[in-house]
Amino acid sequence: MPPGTKITVGDLLAHRQPLRVTCAPHPWEAAWIRVFDHPYFTVTDAEGRFEIKHAPAGDHRIMVWHETAGWLGGNGGRNGEKLTVNGGEVVDLGLIGLKPRPA
């Protein structure tokens, strides 16, 4: 696409799986679209850190996904890991390590 051109994608519904968008003539040009029905998601910064502000207290499931490594915990990671959030506290998850899939 020429610079400044855009394509609008509408009518997307929340889903647990990412939607991959590719360019047929240029397969290295790709993107992922994630659609959520809640405000509790984030993307890591350049150092891999992330923060989800204002998460409500209670039991939740945290899901970690990377385009080359897949789900944290393999296919079972699609269901996430249990995480209890107490009101007003910071939960440090420590180091979350993902290994790239074998080529």
pLDDT score of 59: 93
What pTM was computed for the model?
0.65
Domain extents in the chain: 19-85
pLDDT digits (tens, 9 = 90+) for 65-103: 888 888 888 888 888 889 898 877 888 888 888 877 676
Token pair of 103 as six digits: 């080529």
C-alpha–C-alpha distance, residues 81 and 64, integer Å: 9
Q: How many CA atoms lie within 13 A of 62 on its CB side?
A: 16
The dihedral sign for the CA sequence 95, 96, 100, 101 = positive
So what's the pLDDT on residue 95? 86
Tokens 């890991």 sit at which residue?
81
